[in-house]
Amino acid sequence: MPAESNAKKKPTASSRGLLNVSEGSYIESTSRPLYALLFLLPWIVIYELGTLWVNTEQVGQILTRKCVIAFIWLTKLAQWMQLQPRLVWLFPGFVVVVILLCWHIATGRSWRVRFKWLGGMAVESVLFAVPLMFINAAIGSSTRAGAFAAVFDNPTVQAYLDYIVTGIGAGIYEELVFRLILVGLLLVILEDLIKLKTHLAVIIAVTISAVLFAAHHYFGFVNGHLAIFQHEPFTMSGFLFRTAAGVYFAILFHYRGFGITAGAHAAYDIILKTLWS
C-alpha cells in the first residue's frame, strides 16, 4: 500500500505538443496559454502605448509594413464589427488576451503560476532567436536590416525605439494570425473535414501557413485593394528565408507554446535591427 500510494504522487509525464517532460515542470508549464498570457501581457501594453507614441506620419508608413499588418487586419475586423473607434485600436490586444484565457480554461489546468519562470521564458526567447540568424546567413537573405530601412532612414533614438515597438507587434500578432489561428484552422479543415492523416495534415498546414507568412511581407490588401509593398523588392532568397522562418516558428510553437514563439519572433526582429543599425 505505501508503495502504491507513493506511485500515485509521482508527477505524470506529458508529451502532447511538448517534449516528454513531467507535468508541472518548467518546460511543460511555460508551454501553457496562461504563462503565454502573463509573459506577453506587458508587451501588448507596451505595443499599444508605443504605437500611440509614434508620430502620425510614421504610423501611416508602418501600417503598410510587415511588423503590424496582422495587427491592422484585426483592427479592420473590429471596424467591420462596428466597434466604437476608441475600442478599435485596443481590439487586437483584447483578442490575444481572450484567446489565451479561453484556451487555458478549456485545458482545465491549474491557475497557479511561478512568476520567476517568466524570466526563463524571456531568456529562451532570445536564445531561440539565434538559429534564425544562422538560417538567414545560410540562405543569404537580403532581409538582414529588416523591411524597415526605408522607414527608419534617420538613425535617431526615436527611430530605433519605433522599430522596437513594431518588432514587438510582429512577434505577437503575426504569430497569433499565422501560427495560432491559421495553423489551427487548417488542421481542422484537413483533419476533420478532408479526413487526412494527422502527420500529413500537419505538414500541409505548416507549409501553407509558412508560405503565406512569407508572401504577406511583399503584398497584401490595402484599403480593400491588392497592393505590392514598395519598401522591399521581392527576392527569392528573402522569400525562402521567411518561409523557413515560418516553419521554424511552427515547430517552436508546437514544442514551446505561443508565448516563447512570439517572444522569439520579436527578439529576432529587435536583435537584427540592433546589429545592422
Q: How confident is the model at residue 224 (pLDDT cuts 50, 70, 90)?
A: low
132 pLDDT higher than 80 = yes
The alpha carbons of the chain give a radius of gyration, in whole angstroms, of 20
Separation of alpha carbons 39 and 98, rounded Å? 15
Range of lowest pLDDT (93-107, 132-146, 233-247) = 132-146
Residue of 28 and 3 predicted with greater confidence: 28
Write down the pLDDT at residue 277. 57
Write down the pLDDT at residue 88. 78
pTM of the model: 0.82
Contact 14, 21 (CB under 8 A): yes
Query: How many C-beta atoms surround the C-beta of residue 235 within 10 A?
Result: 14
Burial class (CB in 10 A: 0-12, 13-18, 19+), 165: buried
Cell of 40: 506577453
Separation of alpha carbons 73 and 80, rounded Å? 11
163 pLDDT higher than 80 = no
pLDDT tens for 32-89 read 999 999 999 999 998 888 776 654 334 444 443 334 577 777 877 887 888 877 777 7
Q: What value does the mean pLDDT of the chain take?
A: 80
